[in-house]
Structure 1
Amino acid sequence: MHEGRCTCGKVRYRMTDRPLFTHACHCTWCQRETGTAHALNAMIEADKVELLSGQPAEVLTPSSSGKGQTILRCPDCHVALWSYYPGAGRKIAFVRVGTLDDPGACPPDIHIFTSTKLPWYVLPDGVPAVPGYYDRNVYWSAGALARCDALLAR
């Protein structure tokens, strides 16, 4: 179980299970949105993100797909806590790992869109890295695939 919060502490949440998979996304959209080298998102079933306090505000934000994403932010300090993308809708939350109380507990399982990574960023050894997106059937564990398939079948 992992807990997290925004900077001011008004919004607190808990992930009640392990993430399905964690992405370090190096696309230029994520670089712009985060103001740094990449976004780090832990994918988890949305019903396994439990709100402990506060109420995040939903902000529709453009994305490279043209379909946008809904980012849940603290209404006071505006820190992005998690988001939803159109592909899975509200079934899968992309939790911003940096908002966890222990972000070191969710290292990236893969680096994606490395074709646009910043030239000075050194990819770590032993972690898969792909130039664009990837086939989850190749990289996800059997357990994560089963959890995701069961969720999407609902």
Structure 2
Amino acid sequence: MSTPAYPLAGGCDCRSVRYQLESAPLFVHCCHCRWCQRESGSAFALNAMIETERLRLLAGTPEWVDTPSASGKGQLIARCPQCRIALWSHYAGAGRSISFVRVGTLDEPDHLPPDIHIFTASKQPWVLLPPGTPAVPEYYERKTYWPAESLARRAALLAAQSKA
């Protein structure tokens, strides 16, 4: 697969809410935890982590829904107020500075395969993980798996937040 040209556009089913990723994401998680399975109604959730400042809203206004999470801190999910599709979310740990974009809402989701499979200890037994993609039973140490560029972007984001 070739490297995608950015920006990448996406949106909900009814096209009321449209957005674009201005750059490559920091990292793409394929999460197999039971919370993601329940929330997505599927075997896993595929989320592209990106700085919120690099996620541009093109049309519409998402509705924010506060939902519980395994951490007990919850997550805010941006949903289309018309068709109710979940577009992205903010987890308490990263706050609103990082968006977890639902890859399946991109116009061309094939461009963002998972960088890692997480919480595989609770994956559905019939899901076969591809060889060559890291997979961990729970969460992981960021410095072990993230590319240097993504670690630098995250460090810059944290530094800017500490000055604010």
Q: Does TM, normalized by the shorter one, top 0.5?
A: yes
Q: Distance in 1 between matches of 2:93 and 2:70?
A: 13
The letter of the residue matching 2:159 is A
Aligned length: 154
| Matching residue within 55, 60, 76 for 1:54 | 60
- Three-state SS of the structure 1 residue aligned to 2:42 is coil
Write the distance in 1 (CA, Å) between the matches of 2:156 and 2:55.
17
Structure 2, unaligned runs of 5 or more: 1-6
Q: State yes or no: 1:2 paired with 2:8.
A: yes
Which of 63, 67, 83 is 2:89 aligned to?
83
TM-score, scaled relative to structure 2: 0.93
Distance 2:12 2:159 in 1: 32
CA offsets per residue over residues 27-71 of structure 1, 9 Å max, x none? Answer: 000000001110000000000000000000000000000000000
| Deviation beyond 3 Å, 4+ runs, structure 1 | none
Per the TM alignment, residue 99 of structure 1 is displaced from its structure 2 partner at its CA by 0.1
1:97-144 CA-to-partner distances (Å, cap 9, x unmatched) read: 000000000000000000000000000111000000001100000000
1:117 — aligned with what?
Answer: 123
2: CA distance between counterparts of 1:140 and 1:122? 23
Give 1:143's aligned residue. 149
State the SS of the aligned residue for 1:90: helix
Question: What residue in structure 1 maps to residue 3 of structure 2?
Answer: none
Question: What secondary structure sits across from 2:126 in the alignment?
Answer: coil
CA distance in 1, matches of 2:44, 2:154: 24
Identity of aligned residues (%): 62
**Match in the other structure for 2:74:** 68
Q: Give the Å deviation of 1:88.
A: 1.2
CA-atom RMSD in angstroms: 0.4
Cα distance, 1:152 vs structure 2: 1.4
Q: Distance in 1 between matches of 2:55 and 2:147?
A: 21
| Unmatched 5+ stretches in structure 1 | none
Q: How far did 1:153 drift?
A: 1.5
User: Whole-Å Cα distance in 2 between the matches of residues 96 and 116 of structure 1?
Assistant: 20
Matched, 1:99 2:100: no
